Amino acid sequence: MLEKILQDAHFVHEHSQDVVIHEDAIDTFVKDFVPGEFWLKSNLFHVLDMSLRDLISFLLVYHTIGDYCFWGDPKWTIQTEDGVLDGSFAIMKLVIQKFQQRGNFNLTLDEFQDLLKGNVEIPLLKERYEQLQMLNTYLQNHSFYDEIADFNDDVTLFSYLIDYFPYFKDESIYEGRTISFYKRAQLLTSDILHVKEMKGIPVDYTHLVGCADYKIPQVMNSYGMMTYSDSLDQMIATKTEIPEGDAYEVEIRANTLAVIDSIYQKLNGKVPRMDINDSIWLLGQNKEKVKKLYHRTKTTHY
């Protein structure tokens, strides 16, 4: 499946009408490229103080209810002792607090809504809750950590995730072909293997392709590595929602992966694609350098 994701990305790139990749801009980016650190390495919210078992269990819950679709008007935020947080860092803070309190995630909808309480209701609240219920059903018959404890390569772990967790399915139809992305399954695979690596366990995450979301193409567009047709540019500039599965969305996502692969090739394969992915995502946290807007699609995929 991971190989298919890369093949699909290049298929869409070759047929794209509204997204163009600029190799000269990628060359410029590569000249100054310095791989960023794994995003959890800073021990944000003391997450690395947990045992490996608890940390991996936390990541499963976080990637089930968290890491997707935070945009809105106004944007969902929470108030904490660290100040106002939004997006993935905000939901991470809430989930890890409950873990530290040894809280149970077998929640009613009202309890779940209270857990994620912010200035406004978080986008896709009910969809997040439905996926949490699916996770709880899985946990009735499985111990996630015990079952994946010996999976130290991306192909095996990724395959397990997409087999057991149907909410990680992430596919679209483009030019009559099924295009696979599996952003969330790839990201959870990467996070688990990276934290294992930090604990001194030999791992392999070199087959992961990248995360086709909205932040990474925003960075690529800001750096000129990827540009859009006038019609697509206008939709993004006016914050017009692009329907999930629309050709615009598929081309943005697939070309994002094609750019990551181009950077990987220009670096002679010395930096794994997922580390390139994470480095670009970290650049997106610097609002001074990222001037372009991100595309808006309501989806549980990213």
Q: Domain limits at 111? A: 2-283
Q: Does a structural domain hold residue 297?
A: no
Predicted model pTM: 0.96
CA-to-CA distance for 44 and 75, rounded, in angstroms?
22
Q: Answer whether residue 125 is part of any domain.
A: yes
pLDDT digits (tens, 9 = 90+) for 63-106: 999 989 999 999 999 999 989 999 999 999 999 999 888 888 99
Q: How confident is the model at residue 284 (pLDDT cuts 50, 70, 90)?
A: very high
C-alpha span between 114 and 276 (Å, rounded): 36
221 within some domain: yes
Tell me if 139 is assigned to some domain.
yes
- How confident is the model over 247-275, as pLDDT tens digits? 999 999 999 999 999 999 999 999 999 99
The number of distinct structural domains making up the chain is 1
Chain-centroid distance of CA 19 in Å reads: 21
C-alpha torsion angle, residues 196, 198, 200, 201 (rounded to 10): 20
Whether 293 maps to a domain, the answer reads no
In a domain, 299, yes or no: no
Asked if residue 292 belongs to a domain, the reply is no
pLDDT of residue 28: 98
Are residues 208 and 272 in contact, defined by beta-carbon separation less than 8 angstroms?
Answer: yes
Q: Is residue 294 in some structural domain?
A: no
